[in-house]
């Protein structure tokens, strides 16, 4: 979450810099737009594991309306295993891109393109680990089952 907030701050600062450069009689910095675009991609992938862990990623909640707890748990496990498999596959592909010795660099910043895949690789790896943990740890993160803030910690969750 801290990485996500930092990247959001970086994106805001870079976009503000870009907007002010358009209205001032100074030469603009081309790299601000490029870095803001990369930061947006990094923000997306770095928060993937956080969202999977809190069950706030994009999902279809149709199974939540089923009356059978065993069926809901089975669907929960299978969906997390699918998410883990997809994230693991993307992690392997991102690792190949990071470890490749590509001579390409980004146009304005001159960063090796292979380095730009490191944050998505880490974010997807964490998302895969969290999805596996969701599948095999007991229970699902049901926001309705969590105690309200300031509630008595000794009171059982209903």
Confidence of residue 29 (pLDDT cuts 50, 70, 90): confident
Average pLDDT of the segment spanning 49-77: 77
Distance CA 38, CA 30 (A): 13
Which of 31-35, 88-92, 128-132, 148-152 shows the lowest mean pLDDT across its residues? 148-152
- Full-model pTM: 0.74
Distance CA 73, CA 25 (A): 61
């Amino acid at each position: 979450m801290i990485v996500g907030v930092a990247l959001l701050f970086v994106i805001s600062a870079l976009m503000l810099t870009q907007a002010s450069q358009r209205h001032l009689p100074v030469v603009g910095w081309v790299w601000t737009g490029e870095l803001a675009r990369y930061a947006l991609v990094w923000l997306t992938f770095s928060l993937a594991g956080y969202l999977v862990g809190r069950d706030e990623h994009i999902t279809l909640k149709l199974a939540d309306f089923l009356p059978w707890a065993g069926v809901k748990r089975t669907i929960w496990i299978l969906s997390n295993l699918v998410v883990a498999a997809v994230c693991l596959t993307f992690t392997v592909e991102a690792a190949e891109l990071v470890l490749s010795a590509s001579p390409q660099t980004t146009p304005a910043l001159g960063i090796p393109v292979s380095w730009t895949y490191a944050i998505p690789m880490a974010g997807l790896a964490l998302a895969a680990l969290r999805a596996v943990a969701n599948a095999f740890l007991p229970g699902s993160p049901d926001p309705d089952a969590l105690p309200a803030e300031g509630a008595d910690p000794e009171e059982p969750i209903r």
